[in-house]
Structure 1
Amino acid sequence: MEKIIFQLITLSGEAKSYSLEAIQLAKKADIIGAKERIELAEDKINSAHRFQTELIQKEAGGEDMKMSLLLVHAQDHLMNSIMLKEICIEFIDLYESINDC
C-alpha cells in the first residue's frame, strides 16, 4: 500500500509542477506551451486517479485498508494538484484574453 501512496504523492507533485510552469508560460504569452503543460498535468492527475481507484477497489473488495497519516497526506496532495490545475486553466484563459486585446 505504501508504494501506491508514494505514487499518489509523486504524480500529484509532478502535476503541480506542470501547472505552475503553465502559468509562467502564459505570463510570457506562450499560451500553446501553457496548454501543453496543463495537458501534462492532467495526464499525471489521471495516473494518480488510477492508483487512488486501485485503493478504493481493494477496500470495496473487503481488504482492510488502514487509514494512515501518509494516505491522508497523499490524498491532500492529489486534491490540491487537481484544484491548482483548474485555477491555472483560468489564469491561462485570462492571460490569453489579455494578449488578444
Structure 2
Amino acid sequence: MDEAYMQVVMSIIMHAGNSKGLAHQALDAAKQGDFDAASDYMKQANDALADAHNVQTDLLTKEAQGEHTEVNLYMVHAQDHLMNAITYKDLVGEFIELYQTK
C-alpha cells in the first residue's frame, strides 16, 4: 500500500470526521436556541462532507477510467466514517428542526 493511497483514505476520514464534529456543534447550538450558529455549523458540516465526497468521486472516476482502486480494511473504514457522518448530519438536521418548533 503506497502513501498516496493512505492519503486518500485519511482524507476521507478527516473530512467525514470534521463534518460529524461540526454537525454535533450545530446540535449543541440548537439546544441552546442559537439557530443562526446551528445553521452556520451545518453549512460547514455540508462543506466538509462535500470535500469527502469529492475525494470519493475522484476514486469513482478513476475506477470508471479503468484505474482500479484497492479495497481493503482501511478503505472500508474510511467509507464507514463517511456514511456515518452523512447519517449523523442528516439526523442532526431533523433534530434542529424539532428544536425550532419548541
Q: TM-score, normalised by structure 2?
A: 0.93
| TM-superposed deviation, 1:59 | 1.2
Identity of paired residues, percent? Answer: 38
Partner of 1:20: 24
Matched, 1:94 2:101: no
1:26-74 CA-to-partner distances (Å, cap 9, x unmatched) read: 0000011011100000000001000000111111111121111000000
Q: Work out the CA distance in 2 between the residues paired with 1:53 and 1:18.
A: 22
Select the residue among 23, 29, 46 that pairs with 2:50: 46
1:63-100 deviations in whole A, cap 9, x for unaligned?
121111000000010111011111000110111110xx
Question: What residue in structure 2 maps to residue 10 of structure 1?
Answer: 14
User: Is 1:77 matched up with 2:81?
Assistant: yes
Runs of 4 or more, structure 1, over 4 Å off, are none
2:33 to 29, 35, 38: 29
The root-mean-square deviation of aligned C-alpha atoms, in Å, is 0.7
- 1:62 paired with 2:50, answer no
AA in 2 matched with 1:30: D
TM-score (norm 1): 0.94
- The residue type equivalent to 1:28 in the other structure is Q
Amino acid at match of 1:72: V
